[in-house]
Amino acid sequence: MKIVFLEPLGLKVRQIEAACEGLKKAGHEVIVYPDRNENLDELKRRAEGAEVVIESNIPLRKDFLDACPNLKMLSIAFTGLDHIDLEECERRGIVVKNAAGYSTEAVAELAIALMIDLYRKVLENDTITRQCNRKGIMPGREIGGKTIGIIGMGNIGQRVAKIANAFGCKVLAWNRTQKQVDGVTFVDKETLLKESDIVTLHIALNADTRDFITAKDFALMKPSTILINTARGPVVNETALAEALKQGQIAAAATDVYGTEPPLKPENPLLGAPNLIMLPHIGFATEEAFLLRLGIVVRNIEELF
C-alpha cells in the first residue's frame, strides 16, 4: 500500500517516519511531505497513486477524490470531519477515520485559560505594565464560585467541567442527550444562557448546531456574561456576537474558531468588536496533542490492514 502524509501534522518528518516503522516493516510504502500546501493541484500531485492519505483540516472534496482512483482510506488527523466530502467517500467505498480524543486536554485547558484571561484582564494589564502605568491597573474577577454553562458534553466538555469543579464553580450543561456527570447539572438551553456567568461551547458543527448562538440567545445572557468558543466558528453567528459586544449585551468573549479559517478577511465583523480575544485556531496545537494524534492516525491505518 502507498501511504501518503500530505503534511507533517505539526511534527518533524523523522517523528512520523519513526511512528510508521511497523507499517514499513509490513511492506507498506510511506511518504511524508515536510510542508503544508493547500493548493489543490499540489495536493493531487502528492496523493497520486495513494491508497491511504493522511491530513488534518485541509478541505478535501470531490475534485480531489476524482484524482485519487486508488484511494481506500482517509486518515484525518483532526476531530471534526466537516471539511471532508463524506457522502462522496461513502459512495466510493473510501474509509474515513478521524483522530477522536487527541485534543481533549489541549482544548479544555485553552478554554479555561481564556476564561482566566478575560476575568483577570491579563492582556490589558500586560499593556499597562509595558506603558509603566502602575496607576492604570485593571482589577479583575475570580472564577471560583461562578456559574459555568457548558454547551456540549462530549469528552472536551466533560474535561472542562472537571476543571471548573476544581475551581469551585457551579457547572450547568446542555447536551443533545442528557448524561450522568458528577458535579454537573443538566438544564435546557434557555436556562443555561440566563443563569451562567461564563458560557463555553464544545459542540460539533452540523446542520442542527450551525448558528446555535444568535442575537436572541445573546439577549438572554446577563450583561456580565462572557462567551468562550473553542468548538467550531459557525456555531456562533459572528455578526450577532460582534453586535452583542458593541451593545454591551455581554461583557466579553474569546474565540479560537471562525466561519472561515484564518487568515480572516478584513470585512469579518469580529475584527471591529470590543472586549474580544481572537486566536488563530490553536486549541488543538500542543506538542502533546500532536504526538497523541499521530499515534491515533497510525493505529487507524494499522487496524484497516
What type of residue sits at position 95? V
**171 near 164, Cβ under 8 Å?**
yes
- With b meaning 16 or more CB within 10 Å and e meaning fewer, what string describes 241-273? bbebbeeebbbbbbbbbbbeeeeeeeebbbeeb
Q: What is the pLDDT of residues 1-38, one digit of tens each?
A: 999 999 999 999 999 999 999 999 999 999 999 999 99
Counting the structural domains of the chain, the total is 2
Please say if the pLDDT value at position 80 is more than 90.
Answer: no
**Span between the terminal Cα atoms of the chain, in Å:** 9
Contacts of 221 (CB under 8 A, 6+ apart): 193, 194, 196, 199, 227, 244, 249, 250
Give me the mean pLDDT over the 202-222 stretch: 96
High-pLDDT (> 70) share of the chain, %: 100
**Do 63 and 131 share a structural domain?**
no
Please say if the pLDDT value at position 134 is more than 90.
Answer: no
| Distance (Å) of CA 265 to CA 198, 222, 260 | 28, 30, 9
Given pLDDT bands bounded at 50, 70 and 90, which one contains residue 136? confident
What's the whole-model pTM score? Answer: 0.91
Edge-to-edge strand order for the sheet containing 29-32? Answer: 29-32, 2-5, 52-55, 73-76, 95-97
Handedness of CA 296, 297, 298, 302 (dihedral sign): positive
Beta bridge mates, 201: 151, 229
| Mean pLDDT computed over every residue of the chain | 96
Separation of alpha carbons 204 and 298, rounded Å: 24
Edge-to-edge strand order for the sheet containing 198-201? Answer: 184-186, 170-174, 147-151, 198-201, 226-229, 252-255, 276-278
**188 near 174, Cβ under 8 Å?**
yes
Please say if the pLDDT value at position 178 is more than 90.
Answer: no
**Do 226 and 290 share a structural domain?**
no
**Do 234 and 124 share a structural domain?**
yes
**Do 176 and 69 share a structural domain?**
no
Separation of alpha carbons 78 and 50, rounded Å: 20
Q: What is the pLDDT of residues 249-296, one digit of tens each?
A: 999 999 999 999 899 999 999 999 999 999 999 999 999 999 999 999
The enclosing domain of 62 has a CATH number of 3.40.50.720
- What is the per-residue pLDDT for 118? 98
What is the domain range of residue 233? 104-278
**Do 196 and 156 share a structural domain?**
yes
**Do 134 and 93 share a structural domain?**
no
Q: Point out the residues that are catalytic.
A: 232, 261, 281
Please say if the pLDDT value at position 82 is more than 90.
Answer: no
Q: Half-sphere exposure of residue 287, counting CA atoms within 13 Å on the CB side?
A: 2
**Do 174 and 246 share a structural domain?**
yes
What type of residue sits at position 38? E
**275 near 95, Cβ under 8 Å?**
no
